[in-house]
Structure 1
């Protein structure tokens, strides 16, 4: 498990010169931010059960994260899941099994916490793979739990998401560029989430 200081530190996920994280080109399709759907938790539960069936004990943690995990929060209609495995760099230990059950390997970022991402199209799911020492899954759950409890920050985040999606669509941007538009507000909210959780500076 990462130390508290790691949870407070945002590391740069930009690729080294000449490298790309994308195994498939990122989409520039319009970004939709829609009202919360009560079906999302059940959808996650079904997908998580499938992941555990495929990977067995290799799936150390399977967590519903992101905006679809926060009741009442507007979100892109894409279920985000954090999967923790012992060693994300050991792709042979989990990627083929997931691909054989319909997942598509789309991102490889060894320079950023050994992050990998796989996708499903129907239902639409992003599966983020990290190791047990990565701060990212822990930061995601702290943020999730804070947004579930704090209506004011939930409303702030919803507003910046809608605003960022509108601007990104006008500029025909990717999801990465959309994420960059809302990053400042999101990081302010994460700081308050860390405070609320008692995680020291």
Structure 2
């Protein structure tokens, strides 16, 4: 069985200097606390509504769009924030997509060109995190692999939920602290999932063509 490339299996670590310059404007008020809720089936509908608005704003510029993060996993407790991975042909030219997304109600919050060109925009209600990546970025592959594994492995889904509830009392350390269990779960997924194509066997497809197509996910 072929192995996943290191850029997929190994977590990216930005330098403190890079992290310090990433934030644009004021951080969301929701970042002050961590509230973990039982899974809400309406989260799927919220994703669909957000996806449709993004499609209307960007049209054929979208290469792929996916619901990722904890709210995309039925039965998984999560922060009620919808994470979306959006692939565009290039993220460096923000003038080609940020103004249109701003008119759709988003604002640019994070600029991290060193992290595979990542940008993150946030909805006006601060309840959607829109992660923008160029084609070939490894992080969306990790996100989809984790999502699909948790959807089909209840024991790891429950382990992740218990871990998040335990860590929720520390908003400042929550994101970094849960990385350890994410890496443990992903290690099992990497070992069990065969690599069948250069991007890790998952393709770059999202649901833009109905299956064509640090700051971990919020949940």
Give the structure-2-normalised TM-score.
Answer: 0.82
Q: In angstroms, what is the RMSD of aligned CA positions? A: 2.0
1:83 matched to 2:91? The reply is no
- Residues of 2 paired with 1:142 and 1:14: CA distance? 26
Contact 2:38–2:75 (CA under 8 A) maintained in structure 1: yes
Contact 1:113–1:131 (CA under 8 A) maintained in structure 2: yes
1:103 matched to 2:99? The reply is no
| Per-residue Cα deviation, 1:25-78 (whole angstroms, up to 9, x for no partner) | 434521101000000111101110110111011111110000000000000000
- Once the 2 structures are TM-superposed, how far is the Cα of residue 20 of structure 1 from its aligned partner? 1.4
Q: Secondary structure, in 3 states, of the residue corresponding to 1:4?
A: coil
Matches within 5 A, 1:8-157: 8-16=9-17, 19-26=20-27, 27=29, 28-122=31-125, 124-157=127-160
Residue 191 (structure 1) aligns with: 187
Give the structure-1-normalised TM-score.
Answer: 0.89
Relative to structure 1, the CA distance from residue 18 to residue 9 in structure 2 (aligned partners, 3 Å threshold; closer, same or farther) is closer
Relative to structure 1, the CA distance from residue 89 to residue 195 in structure 2 (aligned partners, 3 Å threshold; closer, same or farther) is same
- Once the 2 structures are TM-superposed, how far is the Cα of residue 15 of structure 1 from its aligned partner? 4.7
- Once the 2 structures are TM-superposed, how far is the Cα of residue 126 of structure 1 from its aligned partner? 0.2
Q: Which runs of 5+ in 1 are unaligned?
A: none
Range 188-197 or range 72-81, more displaced:
188-197
- Residues of 2 paired with 1:18 and 1:147: CA distance? 29
Q: Which runs of 5+ in 2 are unaligned?
A: 201-219
- Once the 2 structures are TM-superposed, how far is the Cα of residue 19 of structure 1 from its aligned partner? 4.5
Q: Secondary structure, in 3 states, of the residue corresponding to 2:15?
A: coil
- Once the 2 structures are TM-superposed, how far is the Cα of residue 130 of structure 1 from its aligned partner? 0.6
- Residues of 2 paired with 1:80 and 1:35: CA distance? 16
- Residues of 2 paired with 1:15 and 1:51: CA distance? 32
| Per-residue Cα deviation, 1:58-117 (whole angstroms, up to 9, x for no partner) | 111110000000000000000000000011111111101000111011000011111100
Contact 1:15–1:109 (CA under 8 A) maintained in structure 2: no
